[in-house]
Structure 1
Amino acid sequence: MQAFALIAQDQRSWLERAVVISLFTWRRAEPSDPVDDQDRQGWWADAFPAVANDRIGSRLWLLRRRTITAQTLRDAQRYCEEALQWLLDDGHVLAVMVTITRPSPTQLSGLIVLERPEGDPLSLSFDNLLQVPNAI
């Protein structure tokens, strides 16, 4: 029974790390995304994907200088869902639910709930999606 608890904890830790990396690694901007200059950011290894068009990270970084409006909240939700889609595609989770809120005029908070094939859902809360987290 203790071994099962360790396996469950390892699965939870792995998923937590995967979500943080997926959300807070800067994904390359799409050609249609407005950027401040010519730098479209992105992780260098995406230039050499093992699977065609496979990319890591999110485009949340594009929201850093935007005024927080209802559209900004919708874009943040879409960017989070896009960044976490690989967890569904690869069968690591059964569902990903993203809820974005605006606790202050300059903050976006996010609640990510992952429905796992085995075990309880995993809920992760981020107080400010527009800055890099120090730790979970």
Structure 2
Amino acid sequence: MADITISWDATNQRGDWTMSGPVLSTGNDLQTAILISIFSDRMAEADDVIPDGDDPRGWWADDDVPIGSRMWLLRRAKQTGETLQRAYDYLAEALQWLIDDGVVARFDISVQWARKSTLGASITAYSPTGTILSKGQYAWAWTGTN
């Protein structure tokens, strides 16, 4: 059985379910797994500085199977090289389970300031033979200081 397909809407910077007429589409499981992994809020680590209060977010079962990314911790961070490195690290952490489970062999991840107040990321997933399995461009609106 295939998963419900989530497609990335670059214009509106959000993921959404894909419809096939009146029915939810299925398939494209890897792309759906990537979107859930990078855009769901993973629980903060004990030593993370939470930017807006004390809610560590995350899924209630994160103790057993961490899901999502810690990108939300960067919401108010300055637009610096250090912030880009943390974004890269958080994305790599969020996608690692797909490598551990043998779904992909590796990812190429690049992050950059796409424009003022927008962090962009390019993520390419590869099979063990080097074939590209998935390639996507993603963006986060930034509320941090410049």
Higher helix share: 1
Cα distance change on mapping 1:41 and 1:125 into 2, 3 Å: same
Render the CA deviation track for 1:33-74: whole Å, top value 9, x for unaligned: 111322111111324x3xxxx200000001111111000100
- Equivalent residue, structure 1, for 2:86: 75
Counterparts of residues 1-136 of structure 1 (less than 5 Å): 10=27, 13-35=28-50, 36-47=52-63, 49=64, 54-117=65-128, 120-121=131-132, 122-126=134-138, 128-130=139-141
Counterpart code for 1:28: M
State how far apart, in whole Å, the 2-side matches of 1:70 and 1:119 are: 29
* TM-score, normalised with respect to structure 1: 0.77
Higher strand share: 2
Identity across matched positions, percent: 38
* TM-score, normalised with respect to structure 2: 0.72
> How far off is 1:119 after superposition?
8.1
RMSD across aligned positions (CA) = 1.9
For structure 2, the 5+ residue unaligned runs are 1-25
